[in-house]
Structure 1
Amino acid sequence: MAKDSIMQRVKAQLDQVPLGALVSYADFVQEPAQFAAVAAALSRLRKAGEIIRFAKGQYYRPHISRFGTVAPSDQAVFAAVGAATGQLIPYATGVSVYNRLGLTTQVPAVVTLASTRRRRNLPRRLRTVVRPALEQVSDVPLLQWLEVLRDVRRIPDTSPDRVVTRVAKELRQLTPPARRRLTELACQQAPPRARALLGALLENLPGKKDAGALRRTLNPLTTYRLGISAKILPNRAAWHIQ
């Protein structure tokens, strides 16, 4: 295909792309043999100031506000990473989520994404942690609470007791089906310390089957040093939590 034809296709498709949405070579052509021509066209458009390079092989049409160029939204970035890793969409985790949930006042300089594999060539403000593939978007809030339990001792500007108190409140508000799904996800992918803590919390709520399912996944000889007081978690000893 002629270079002029590639350039025309790229420009025509870019005109249909929302401002701030990320595009890559595969958004313009399906044949890998044509990627070089698309890359050259995008490079020319970047030099002309029509698009901005976001990361290797990724560009966006900038939205210009009175404060300057607006970077792509987090959701646009998440979707682009998801397309590259084959996931429905990577989900945010880490301090940015803990801040949103009211667990910490710290605002992170780097946003952490859960992805099926580590990603390179991401912007400096993004990093990935490896997690199993997302099965359905509705699982994201539950998975984020599992991340809270995983990091209970590492969440900045708070204490494990305060975190556990907040998680217990959230669990009480979940519907029974949501609790069952949370238990399923924990059994599938949460580390033992998070499963033990979730089991201890669920044991204090109506319906003990979920707690029992989690207990069966744990080594009865393992102790979990999480820094949680007996006042906040009265049944901690039964779950070998300290």
Structure 2
Amino acid sequence: MNVAQSIQNAVAVMPAGQIFGYDALPDYGRSPSAVIKAVSRMVKDEKLSRFAKGKFFVPQKGLMGNRKPSDGELIRSVLYKNGSLRGYVSGYALFNRLGLTTQVPKTIVVAVNGGRQIKDFGRLSIQTVPARAIVSEANVTLLGYLDVLKDIKTIPDTTVSQSMSRMVLLIKRLTPQEKRRLVALALEVYPPQVRALLGVMSDKTDLPDAQQLKLSLNPTTVYKLRIEAADWPNMKDWNIR
């Protein structure tokens, strides 16, 4: 089977609207020039549509012509690079997915192993920001939780205390190993407010290493979050007001 036929067979089983790069195609590692030539021919024949430089998708016919990839597929194209996870959704979209707010943003913030960039897809914009730690399948959930605590005062249509209660439920579901890693990431790359919030929640979440969190904080720094002592009786132990 020649390269062109191999590419056609691979494309034939791809879901319509799925964005892919040359690296997802057979023979690219062995014959990159032949693969690029075969893909260009398929674009010319309208069997493929070009999404961006080196990125393509199988077009799906609609009443108004070829449909563009879904919002979810646009986001996925930023989350993954060369088949590997390199980012995660943060910001308001993360708050919405975790049940912290009902607001749905037009601009999706994605924390990535990379720099800042804005991608405008018309109905959707994606803003990339540098992640605080190298993103991997193992820590992507933990980084999202820590981002929530970092930005907890900015979550719309809720209070800090309500957001903390929701995060307690989510953190309690983590495995003991994940909880240890959560604390380690907070100590390594997140600001003091995050560590103080984890400390306050440690009694309700069985987080390990609470003493390490306490020792990492400046005892003279006060974190003004406007939460109630009735909900968080140990808040003063962590200098939260």
* TM-score, length-scaled by structure 2: 0.78
Return the offset for 1:194.
0.9
Aligned partners of 2:223 and 2:239 also within 8 Å: yes
Aligned partners of 1:79 and 1:89 also within 8 Å: no
Matches within 5 A, 1:125-164: 125-131=125-131, 132-135=133-136, 137-164=137-164
Query: Letter of the aligned partner of 1:148 in structure 2?
Result: V
1:49 aligned to 2:39? Answer: no
Give per-residue Cα distances to partners, 1:92-138, cap 9 Å, x unaligned: 22212211221101011122222111264745322212112124x24
Return the offset for 1:219.
2.4
User: Which residue number in structure 1 is paired with residue 217 of structure 2?
Assistant: 218
**Mapped partners of 1:17, 1:193: distance in 2:** 45
Give the direction of change, closer, same or farther, for the CA distance of 1:115–1:83 in structure 2 (3 Å limit). same
**Mapped partners of 1:188, 1:74: distance in 2:** 31
Give the direction of change, closer, same or farther, for the CA distance of 1:191–1:108 in structure 2 (3 Å limit). same
1:118 is paired with a residue of what secondary structure?
Answer: coil
Aligned partners of 1:91 and 1:113 also within 8 Å: yes
Give the direction of change, closer, same or farther, for the CA distance of 1:91–1:205 in structure 2 (3 Å limit). same
Give the direction of change, closer, same or farther, for the CA distance of 1:41–1:19 in structure 2 (3 Å limit). same
Matches within 5 A, 1:23-42: 23-28=20-25, 29-30=28-29, 34=33, 38=36, 42=39
**Mapped partners of 1:208, 1:154: distance in 2:** 25
Aligned partners of 2:195 and 2:213 also within 8 Å: yes
User: Which residue number in structure 2 is paired with residue 235 of structure 1?
Assistant: 234
| Equivalent in 97, 102, 105 of residue 100 of structure 1 | 97
Query: Letter of the aligned partner of 2:143 in structure 1?
Result: L
Query: Letter of the aligned partner of 2:217 in structure 1?
Result: L
Aligned partners of 2:103 and 2:156 also within 8 Å: yes
1:169 aligned to 2:169? Answer: yes
Aligned partners of 1:195 and 1:214 also within 8 Å: yes
**Mapped partners of 1:34, 1:43: distance in 2:** 11
Return the offset for 1:48.
3.8
**Mapped partners of 1:230, 1:32: distance in 2:** 66
Return the offset for 1:183.
1.4
> How much identity, in percent, do the aligned residues show?
32
Give the number of equivalent residue pairs.
233
Query: Letter of the aligned partner of 2:193 in structure 1?
Result: R
**Mapped partners of 1:128, 1:144: distance in 2:** 14
Give the direction of change, closer, same or farther, for the CA distance of 1:208–1:134 in structure 2 (3 Å limit). closer
**Mapped partners of 1:208, 1:169: distance in 2:** 12
**Mapped partners of 1:241, 1:13: distance in 2:** 57
Return the offset for 1:7.
5.5
Give the direction of change, closer, same or farther, for the CA distance of 1:121–1:167 in structure 2 (3 Å limit). closer
Q: Report the RMSD for the aligned CA atoms in angstroms.
A: 3.3
Aligned partners of 1:88 and 1:134 also within 8 Å: yes
Return the offset for 1:83.
1.9
Structure 1 segments unaligned to the other structure (5+ residues)? none
1:59 aligned to 2:56? Answer: yes
Query: Letter of the aligned partner of 2:192 in structure 1?
Result: P
- Structure with a larger share of its residues in strand: 2
* TM-score, length-scaled by structure 1: 0.77
